[in-house]
Amino acid sequence: MDLRLDGKVALVTGGSRGIGRAIGTRFAEAGARVMLVSRKAEALAEAASSMAGLDGEVDWRAANAGDPDAAEECVAATVERFGSVDILVNNAATNPYYGPLIDIDLSAAEKTVRVNQQAVLTWTQCAWRASMAAGGGNVINVSSVGALSVEPGIGWYNVTKAAVAHLTRQLAGELGPGVRVNALAPGLVKTDFARALWERGEERVAARLPLRRLGLPDDVATAALFLASEAASWLTGHVLVVDGGALCTASGGV
C-alpha cells in the first residue's frame, strides 16, 4: 500500500499533543507539509520542534478551534505558507463537564458544541473555499467510540461526537467526488485529555478489552495516515473505529 503523502499539505487542529500531535508526526514522516494548530503557542513550538528532520516540513499557528475567525485566518495562513490545504484533520475537542447529562450547565453545553461539533463544519467550510473546491482534498474528523454507545459521565461529549459522525456522512455525500470525508472513532487512548478516565484504573480497563491494552496516540495516527493516503481512495463517509475491540464487549464504549 502507498501510504506516502509527498506533495500534500495537511492542517491538523488540536495538533500540539496527544492524538493530533501523533497524526502530525505520522503525516510529516510520510512527506506531507504540516500546519499544526492549537491554543498554546509554547506547546505548538515544542511539538513542531520534535518533528524537525522528518520528510515533511512542519509549521504551527496558535488559535482557538472554536473561533470561526481563527479558522479562516489559519486556513489562509496555511495556503499562504504551503500553497494549499489538501488534508484537513478536525481533531480539536473539549470536555468541560463530567456528570449526568440532565445537570449540565448551558454554557458548558454550548462550549462543547462550539468546539467539538460546530468547528468541524467551520474549518471544513474554510478549507473548501480556500483550496478544496478547486483542487480537491481529504477531510478526517475525529469522533469517538462513545458516539456509538451510552456511558455515564461524558454523555454530552459523546452526543457532540455522534454529531461529528453524522456530519462526516453528510459532508461526504455533498463534497464528493473531489473531496473525501471520513472519521475516526477512537476508544480510550492514553492522552492527557483522557487521563481522568484511565490513570487510576488502566489495568482494570485494559482487561475488559479483547486486545488487553489501552490505545496509544500512534494507533489512531496510523489509521489517520491510511485515510489520508491513496490507499483509501475509494473510501468516504466512513467512521473507522479504533478501539482495541471495546465495542465487542458486553458493556460497549470505554
**Residues labelled as active-site residues:** 157
- H/E element holding 224? helix 217-228
Q: Give me 49's grid cell.
A: 520542534
The CA distance from 251 to 248, in Å, is 8
Contact between residue 30 and residue 55 where contact means Cβ atoms under 8 Å apart: yes
H helix and E strand count, the chain: 10, 7
Non-local (6+) Cβ contacts of 88 within 8 A are 10, 11, 123, 124, 127, 132, 137, 138, 139, 140
* Residue 94 vs residues 159, 175, 230: alpha-carbon distances, Å: 13, 27, 31
The CA distance from 72 to 68, in Å, is 6
Phi and psi (nearest 5°) for 60? -150, 160
Put residue 18 in one of left, alpha, beta given phi > 0 → left and psi -120 to 50 → alpha.
left
Strand partners, 35: 11, 59
